[in-house]
Structure 1
Amino acid sequence: MTGPRGAADGRPSAAVLTERLALRPPTADDVPALADAVYGDPRTWALDPTLRRSPEELAVFVGRLQERWARDGVGAWVARLRDGDGTPVGIGGCDRLAEGRSWNLFFRLAPAAQGRGLAQEIARAGLAVARAARPDLPVTAFAAAQNTPSLRTIARLGLTEVWRGPDRRSPLPDAVVVLHADRPLAADHLAELTA
């Protein structure tokens, strides 16, 4: 991962370059392109219907990501190919959840960008930034049990399964979600994340 370091506080800069990706914090201007390239394709949420977002829901989600950037100075990015036409190929990284006790690692890729290792690239950059900013916080990641590509990506990052249970957010009655973490979680923290 390359990219200039931030100011005197030592935080990484908001924009990060990886081998193939240019990562930058999301803006409201990104919503139409993300809605079209990533969330507008049913294949994006085929393995996990909780990932489906209308353009209006996506605008709210991007607003929350912006609030987390403002709060923490780090967060999730919109990803574009460095040698591409500027169209987003995905969104992801690590951001601190509202309760602030852990990092949440996530990634969503446009179907055309899947299967090329780009999720690993986004996730590794997110892990590096999160661990540099707050190494005391565990890194967690949720994935639907049937989403084997995401589960493989998470396992390759070194996170291990710490919980498996019903996915209350899913419209599917028997849906199961899996929580991974980079370290053991205290019982109260685990209960908070899985409530």
Structure 2
Amino acid sequence: MASNPEPDEIRTDRLLLRRVGPGDVRSAIAVMSDPETNRFNPAGTPSAEQAAKMLVEWQAHWARDDIGYWAVELSETGEVIGFGGLRHHELDGEPTLNLFYRFRPRHWGRGYAPEMARAAIDWASRDRPGRPVVIITDPDNTPSQRVAEKLGFAHVGERTTDEGPMVVWRRQEVTMVT
């Protein structure tokens, strides 16, 4: 377990990223079981029951790993507009942190995904520097791939999973020259 656990809350210019809890079940169902938010999900759109189970799983990740996905709220209104963050993942035998984000469609195109992701990446760079951050996405999900590029990720290959083909993006570490 890390000595500096992921904070329960992080604030950005426009967002509050906070640890998910049982009170987020309605928002989780609304976001995660929306067919539009799952357009590129090779597993398809989860049912409301499956979305609620995802929330329980995310809470278990927090309890076990001191890391997980946040509920993403607009600071001004407190509206939960999506979910995202980091989770432990193994890629080709290497321990990594998988960056995930999913937002309500009416909030797409406003820069919230990169804003949330930058906060997660900044945290990982400080508190878990030995773990590379990856994004694994459907080959047709060009919006997520554009976000990955904006964040400084590089396309490093493709994988075939039980759900089908996936594209892997990896955060390129910045090395300081002294």
1:62 alignment partner, SS class: helix
- Aligned partners of 1:90 and 1:110 also within 8 Å: yes
Q: CA deviation at 1:12?
A: 5.2
| Residue 34, structure 1, aligned to residue 28, structure 2 | yes
Q: CA deviation at 1:163?
A: 1.6
| Residue 93, structure 1, aligned to residue 93, structure 2 | no
Q: Unaligned 5+ residue runs, structure 2?
A: 174-178
Identity of counterpart residues, as a percentage?
A: 32
Residue from 49, 55, 62 that aligns with 1:62: 55
Q: CA deviation at 1:74?
A: 2.6
| Residue 181, structure 1, aligned to residue 170, structure 2 | yes
Residues 100-128 of structure 1: CA deviation (Å, up to 9, x unaligned): 81101010000011000000011111111
Residue from 122, 142, 149 that aligns with 1:148: 142
Q: Which has the higher strand share?
A: 2
Quote the Cα distance in structure 1 between the aligned partners of 2:17 and 2:98. 17
Scaled by the length of structure 1, the TM-score of the pair is 0.77
Residues 108-156 of structure 1: CA deviation (Å, up to 9, x unaligned): 0000110000000111111112222210011111111111000000111
Q: Unaligned 5+ residue runs, structure 1?
A: 1-8, 171-175, 185-195
Q: CA deviation at 1:49?
A: 4.1
* Number of aligned residue pairs: 169
Q: CA deviation at 1:40?
A: 3.8
Quote the Cα distance in structure 1 between the aligned partners of 2:73 and 2:139. 28
- Comparing 97-106 and 54-63, the one that deviates more: 97-106
Aligned to 2:127: 133
- Aligned partners of 2:20 and 2:70 also within 8 Å: yes
Residue from 105, 112, 130 that aligns with 1:111: 105
